[in-house]
Amino acid sequence: MRENNYDIQEFLQDYAETSPDKEIRIINAAINAFSEKGFEATRTKEIAQRAGIAEGTIFRYFPTKDAILERMVPLLVRVMLPKISGPIDKIISEHSQEPVERILFAILTDRVQMARDNGRFIKSVLPELIHRAPLLNQLQQSILPVIEQYVSKVVDYGKSRGEMDEHLDPHLVMMQLLGFIISCGMFGGESEADIAQTVNAFIHYTMKGWSK
């Protein structure tokens, strides 16, 4: 895989192939099946075949198909978080002396690429997670604080340079960025040039509201 490949399914497939943990293999197989057929149309027998195990083995780990979704969030957080947060640390470090707009451009183009790499997952699996209150709470408690921590770093940096309003709320900035990343990842054009143009336009107009 390329260094900046964020495909959850591809990464998890590689991870599952080298792990003896059958739970990981089952969840990996389930993600692939859900992405192709949808949650409701997928049967546990098909998940078992993809995982290379007997169907009865699934029920030793997961009593229901819904239980697979319930375990999916903490597994993805544990496996994927270092991979998806590391590049942001690198971007912030490499652009530490540049205008905040340059930092935002680098971060947003990177995160839009992540959304594009996971288009199937976002369209098919993510809705199943967010439509279930307990799973939505898991996402909110495990993912959003990490995202807001990074957004706060950028906002504080922008405030220190006088490029952002000192009363700007990082939480609201995070919500705007998340909405843009998902929508641009799904509908923001095909080429890298299209994405760069869209990101630049978003930052240009949004910064007018975020600045003093």
Task: Give every CB contact of residue 186 below 8 A, 6+ residues apart in sequence.
Answer: 115, 116, 119, 122, 123
Q: Is residue 3 part of a domain?
A: no
Token reading at 64? 């229901």
DSSP states of 154-207: HHHHHHHTTSS-TT--HHHHHHHHHHHHHHHHHHS-SSHHHHHHHHHHHHHHHH
Q: Which domain holds residue 60?
A: 8-210
- At residue 176, the pLDDT reads 95
The domain spanning residue 113 has which CATH number?
A: 1.10.357.10
Q: Per residue of the chain (212 residues), give pLDDT as tens.
A: 345 667 777 877 777 777 778 888 898 899 889 888 888 899 999 999 998 899 999 999 999 988 888 888 777 777 777 777 888 999 999 998 999 999 999 999 999 988 888 887 777 777 887 778 887 887 788 888 989 999 999 999 999 999 999 999 999 999 999 999 988 888 877 788 888 999 999 999 999 999 87
Token reading at 127? 């809705």
Amino acid letter for position 152: S
Pairwise CA distance, residues 110 & 4, whole Å: 8
Q: Is residue 1 part of a domain?
A: no
Q: Is residue 2 part of a domain?
A: no
Cβ burial of 91 (10 Å; 0-12, 13-18, 19+) is buried
Q: Quick check: 91 and 106 in contact, CB under 8 A?
A: yes
Query: Global pTM?
Result: 0.80
Three-point CA angle 14, 16, 20, nearest 5°: 135
Pairwise CA distance, residues 161 & 98, whole Å: 10
Q: Is residue 63 part of a domain?
A: yes
Q: Is residue 192 part of a domain?
A: yes
Count helices and strands (H / E) in the chain: 12, 0
Q: What total number of domains does the chain contain?
A: 1
List C-alpha distances in Å: 202 to 46, 101, 109, 151, 180: 43, 11, 11, 16, 8
Side-chain half-sphere CA neighbours of 112 within 13 A: 28
Q: Is residue 84 part of a domain?
A: yes
Q: Is residue 50 part of a domain?
A: yes
Pairwise CA distance, residues 49 & 122, whole Å: 24
- At residue 3, the pLDDT reads 55
